[in-house]
Structure 1
Amino acid sequence: MNWMRLLACAGVMVVCAMPAPVIGQGAGQVPAPTIRDRDPGSDSNDGFVLPYEYRRQAVFYRTHEAPGTIIVNTNDRFLYLVQGGNRAIRYGVGVGRDGFRWGGVHTITRKQEWPDWTPPPEMIQRQPYLPRFMAGGPGNPMGARALYIGSTAYRVHGTNAPETIGHAVSSGCFRLVNSEIEDLYERVPVGTKIVVQHR
């Protein structure tokens, strides 16, 4: 079993201001991701090219949310940064697999370049072979940047597995390729509203 299948930058360890429902998960069962993930420490892209539809692009997007708001659509696997005038910058994201998707309204409470990764106890219990700590840098599953969501254990972050963008892999976090999270990171200040749509 691969560590990122249980990426607990979210998942069981949730300290949300709003409840994060666990959907379709039986006792003791962990839903499978839609694609195999990478092991921590792996940083080889082997010529991977992000599909066009998941690349950053300006799109028509109708919303009542104010410019600067982040909207994540977990079903479509896109993150939108609202620009106003029915426009948004759209990024492709990897989302939580079945049983680890959630919805709610929060703010970005912290930003971090090359964040460290510390698997929470729940994840270590399920996968005792995981590292207890991994310093930020290439190969770290948190990627190049992280935006911390409210008081939850969730983040919008980079990844060492770009091929997982557009798939349901994580335990609830939203991942972008490193070049895209670096772009979003520069556009988004602490205090930004983030709306996670799950339907």
Structure 2
Amino acid sequence: MPQRRIVIHPSRRLLELYEGNQRIRHYPIAVGKSLTPTPPGSYSIATKTMYPGGVFGSRWMGLSIPHYGIHGTNNPSSIGQAVSKGCIRMHNHHVEELFLLVEIGISVTIL
């Protein structure tokens, strides 16, 4: 079975999920504001939490860099903006779908 991986394009406000070389999903996202940018680099999904509460919406997927993650939101109008403290923010219905499609350990590349 081909390996799944996530590629995040902060400048395009886009998260892509690949299986092998084929893009199987893509979602609009919000990213870090200029003072707290989303950190470029190669990471992995380290934790997965359902219903973390508050600003994290319905799902949290913590990255291997502490204090950063891919999560839902309680402010859907922020998607498409550079407004977060560095995390990748998604619509709750999108993060719930992605949560089911990825495992702990999957590669996350932030360009």
TM normalised by structure 2 equals: 0.92
Residue 100 (1) aligns with residue 32 (2): no
Runs of 4+ with deviation above 4 angstroms: none
RMSD after superposition:
1.3
Which is richer in helix? 2
Structure 1 residues 98 and 110: alpha-carbon distance in aligned structure 2, compared to 1, 3 A threshold: same
Q: Count residues with an aligned counterpart.
A: 109
CA distance in 1 between counterparts of 2:103 and 2:22 reads 21
Identify the residue that residue 187 of structure 1 maps to in structure 2: 101
> Deviations for 1:57-100, whole angstroms, at most 9, x for unmatched residues?
xxxxxxxxx74101111100000001335433111000001132
Identify the residue that residue 146 of structure 1 maps to in structure 2: 60
Identical pairs, percent = 32
> Deviations for 1:117-164, whole angstroms, at most 9, x for unmatched residues?
xxxxxxxxxxxxxxxxxxx2xxx1000001000042101000011111
One-letter amino acid matched to 1:171: K
Structure 1 residues 85 and 173: alpha-carbon distance in aligned structure 2, compared to 1, 3 A threshold: closer
> Deviations for 1:1-55, whole angstroms, at most 9, x for unmatched residues?
xxxxxxxxxxxxxxxxxxxxxxxxxxxxxxxxxxxxxxxxxxxxxxxxxxxxxxx
- Name stretches of at least 5 consecutive residues in structure 1 with no aligned partner: 1-65, 116-135
CA distance in 2 between counterparts of 1:194 and 1:85 reads 14
Identify the residue that residue 78 of structure 2 maps to in structure 1: 164
Q: Which has more radius of gyration?
A: 1
- Name stretches of at least 5 consecutive residues in structure 2 with no aligned partner: none
Residue 70 (1) aligns with residue 6 (2): yes
How do residues 4-153 of structure 1 correspond to structure 2 at under 5 angstroms? 67-101=3-37, 102-115=39-52, 136=53, 140-153=54-67
One-letter amino acid matched to 2:45: I
Any conservation in 2 of the 1:83–1:89 contact (CA below 8 Å)?
no
Which is richer in strand? 2
One-letter amino acid matched to 2:89: R
CA distance in 2 between counterparts of 1:107 and 1:156 reads 11
CA distance in 1 between counterparts of 2:21 and 2:32 reads 30
- Partner SS for 1:191: coil
